[in-house]
Amino acid sequence: MASDRWAQEGAELRERVAVACRVLAMEGHTDITQGHVSARHPGTSFYWIKASGLGLDEVSADDVVLVDLEGNLLWGTGRPHSELPIHAEIYRARPEVMAVVHTHPPYATAFAAADVPLRPVSHEGALFWPDVPRYTFTTDLVVTREQGEALARTLGSARACLMRNHGIVTVGASVEEAALFALQLERAAKLQILAACLGPYSWTPDAEVAQKAAHLHSPRQLERNWSYYVRKLKRWERGLVLPPVPA
């Protein structure tokens, strides 16, 4: 059967989606069973996504299901999330995007509620210069194609989008890149919020932003950063790393 072939071809990709979910959980992106990571199945209009009803920290490769852009389940036993339109409409609009992350991290979610542009206060902030677009079509779940299309339009060609009173979306050319963008967006928001608590603050001059972003986003740095998180995950799952301090 074709679905069995896709499952075999997608075995490694399912594992990478599961690892990305657990890394995000380790770094404080958990919100009970909310949040999801997906990856486009190469050469098709289908994508693999974490099943509903599980926390990010619980996801294994067997919990990643295959769906099409209409939301039909093609492989797997889990129930797909109701927010499939987030992923489907971004994949429709952005053929180069190979992975999508949607989570509810505390600092970026709080930042999304304010009418303040994200500045390159930290190195991570430079990745999202000159600002991160904000999705305001609804603050509720994105469960219809209309809502998903509005989100994709808001995202445009950006790496990330803040969702007003909801959370974040990041995209990438790989699962690892999209997950790293989610981690870096949360850190950028956190450090800007902390800086603002001290009073007037400064940020990286425009002339230096591109250089900072290029360094942080180089293939070598992406691989180095992700490898660190995977090593940390192994320690975390053995109880050798303390859980993140609540915001």
Question: 37 with 178: CB under 8 angstroms?
Answer: yes
Question: 12 with 20: CB under 8 angstroms?
Answer: no
Q: By three-state DSSP, how is residue 109 classified?
A: helix
Nearest residue to 163 (alpha-carbon basis) of 150, 172, 175, 146? 150
For residues 110 and 129, what is the distance between their CA atoms, to the nearest angstrom?
19
Q: Residue 83 catalytic?
A: yes
Can you list the positions of beta strands (E) in the chain? 36-40, 47-50, 64-67, 73-75, 99-103, 134-135, 160-163, 167-172
> What is the enclosing helix (H) or strand (E) of 194?
helix 175-197
Question: 188 with 127: CB under 8 angstroms?
Answer: yes
The single residue of 27, 83, 89, 124 carrying the catalytic annotation is 83
Give the active site residues. 83
